[in-house]
Each structure stands twice: as structure tokens, then as C-alpha cells.
Amino acid sequence: MLDFHKNHKLLVGTAIFGFLMLSVLVALIPAFQIQKTQPLPTMEVFSEEELNGLHIYVQENCMSCHTQQVRNIEMDNTWGKRPSIPSDYYFSKQRQDLWRQSPSLLGSERTGPDLTNVGQRQPGMEWHLLHLYNPRIVVKESIMPSYPWLFELKEESKIKDTDYLVPVPQTFLNASTKKVVASQKALNLVAYLQSLKQAEMPQNPAVSFIPSSKEKETANNTGEAVLPNGQTLYMNNCAACHQAEGGGLPGAFPSLIGSPIINDENPETLIRIILEGYDARPEFGVMPGFQETLSDEEIAVIASHERSNWGNTAGAVTIDKVKEIRSFVKTLKQ
């Protein structure tokens, strides 16, 4: 009779064999399969600046609070256009150097928002620099720590032409007359964050969000389509720069309160700015365009929200007007 629990050699041998088999099944086989993964056609290789930024991202341990994994559940469609797949990590899974293995970027908790598509969601250079210098400048409720060591305070007379000035509001400088200059590390880190854009992929029904059990209401009792919520869309796309109450940030992002562009009877300029972005005023940061990320309905309700709040009294923007302006903008670019 075989006394398995008394035969130490057999017991240890079985344990080792089980460990090896599990290692092969759980670690080695998936690893070899992932190595065969190819990048998606629209993915781009990291530039030297972006790759250095990836290393800064790892050094500062950003993964402890931010994930880069969009799960295949409906609540995650806030962070990406689709669930993440192995190809999304093709370029970031390369070894850092001879001694350091591929960085672990997936993260495990969302103390801060997921960054999978942050380059599309928040592409502005100035916003990211302000956020790194002091997150409370752009997000008042943020609990993210500041990274002042990525910046330098300089006297105006010592600023070089090659220095990148960060438009920090005076209230955050403690009465200092010095200017905030971004270090090359900060610029590299922002370049990496701006590169985080979820690549388009061929239609694949297997890569989609699992819908929630509760069906979304798409029409009201009269059978008319229900428009998106303008305030929610404003908060998700605009409030980070222009702030929740539309006041902007002095020296960084313009106020929408009483703006002649917002209150103009003809909303064409406002719609074009939302579509194309705006960089005509050097005293403010560059605003990215939302032509590729927002629908006509979403732009219409955002513009209408801005034109009817914070003391603004302009009329609502129609979807047809947005469609007309979008068509005109496309014609100009052809």
C-alpha cells in the first residue's frame, strides 16, 4: 500500500512536478503566446522623448495609483473606446535596458483615473504640466501629490529661449516673482502621457464591452431621442481646464463667463473652437480640438450648456448647426 503522506521523496517530487506544470501552464505558455503579439496597424513606435517619459513614469511609480487597462465591462468605456488587448502593450513591454525588465504598467487600483486613452482625453501640454506641478490647480479635489522636483523656479532675467514656461497662476506661487520652468524630465513625462491613445482596430465582435443588465433609455415617452447631458459632458471634457463654474484659470485657461464668443448670437466661432481647438492667444494654453472624439449631438449640448450657465444668456445650439459647421471645416481642410 502506498503511503503517499509518509513517503517524503514522493511527496516532494509530486509538489515540484505540480509546481513546474503550473508554471508552464500559467506563466510560460501565455508568455510565449504574448511574444507573438503584433502591434495594431495604427500604433506608432515611441519616440526617444516618449520612451524617456515612460522611464520617468516608472521611476515615479505612477502605476501605484493609475491603471492602464480598460476592462471589458461597460463602466470602463469612460477610459477607452474598447477593452484593452495584448497588442496595446506591444511597444511598452520592451525591456528598459540590459538590467531592467519590462515595466509593469497595468496597475491594480484607480486612486486616479485610468490612463489608457489619456492622450486622447486630455491632449493639452499645459494642462499636464500644471497637473504635475500642483494637481489642485486644475482639479481642486485631487489627492494626487505634487511633483515640484520636475520643475525649476527661475528669475525672469535668467530664463532662456529654450525654456518651457508653465503658466502657473500667481496664487499658487506663494507671492514669488519667479517663473516656473519645466525640466526635460517633465517634458518627457508629458510626451509619454500624450502618446497614450488607444489605437483603432479592425471590427472584432469579440472585443467589446459587456453591457450592464440595465438597459439604457434612448427615448422619452414621446418617442423622441434623448440628448446627452450637457453638464456631464462639459465636466468630462472641458471642466479640467475651464473649471466646473466656467471661470478658467488666470494666466492658463480663459474664463467662459461673459465671453463674447460664448454669448455671440451666432455660435459658429464657438463650435469651430470646440471642433478645431484654439491657440491664437499666447497668454493661454493651447486648446485641443474635439472633432474626432465628440459627436454633433455632444458638441451641441456642451455649447448649449456653456451658453446658458454662469450668467451667460445665449440661445441653445442645434445639432443641425453643428453638422453644418463640421461639414464646412472638413471642406476647408480638403
Lowest mean pLDDT among 7-11, 97-101, 216-220: 216-220
Q: What pLDDT is stored for residue 224 in this prediction?
A: 56
Residue 193: all three cell numbers together: 502621457
d(CA 237, CA 305): 13
Task: Classify domain 48-195 by CATH number.
Answer: 1.10.760.10
Q: Do domains 48-195 and 230-333 have the same CATH topology?
A: yes
The whole-chain average pLDDT of the chain stands at 85
Task: Considering only CA atoms, give the Rg of the chain.
Answer: 25
Q: Which residue has the higher pLDDT, 243 or 188?
A: 188
Sign of CA dihedral 20, 22, 25, 30: negative
Residue 2 has pLDDT above 70, yes or no: no
Tens of pLDDT along 284-329? 777 888 888 888 999 999 999 999 999 998 989 999 999 999 998 8
Q: Which residue has the higher pLDDT, 171 or 2?
A: 171
Tens of pLDDT along 214-234? 444 444 555 555 778 888 888
Q: Which residue has the higher pLDDT, 28 or 213?
A: 28
Classified as helix, coil or strand, 180 is strand
Residue position matching grid coordinates 530664463: 159
Classified as helix, coil or strand, 91 is coil
d(CA 93, CA 76): 23
Bridge partners of 151? 182
Tens of pLDDT along 70-96? 998 888 888 888 899 888 988 887 777
Residue 209 has pLDDT above 90, yes or no: no
Q: How many CA atoms lie within 13 A of 87 on its CB side?
A: 16
Q: In the predicted model, what is the mean pLDDT of residues 44-66?
A: 93
Q: In the predicted model, what is the mean pLDDT of residues 124-136?
A: 92
d(CA 299, CA 312): 17
Classified as helix, coil or strand, 34 is helix
Q: What pLDDT is stored for residue 57 in this prediction?
A: 95
Residue 62 has pLDDT above 80, yes or no: yes
Q: Which CATH superfamily is domain 230-333 in?
A: Cytochrome c-like domain (1.10.760.10)
Query: Which parts of the chain fold into alpha helices (H)?
Result: 8-23, 29-35, 48-59, 118-121, 125-133, 184-195, 230-237, 239-242, 260-263, 268-276, 296-307, 319-333
d(CA 306, CA 246): 8
Length of the chain: 334
DSSP assignment string, 221-289: TTSPBPPPPHHHHHHHHTHHHH-TTS--BTTTB---TT-HHHH-SSTHHHHHHHHH-B---TTSPPBPP
Residue position matching grid coordinates 499666447: 282
Burial class (CB in 10 A: 0-12, 13-18, 19+), 121: buried
Burial class (CB in 10 A: 0-12, 13-18, 19+), 120: middle
Cα 227 to chain centroid, rounded:
24
Domain ranges for the chain: 48-195, 230-333
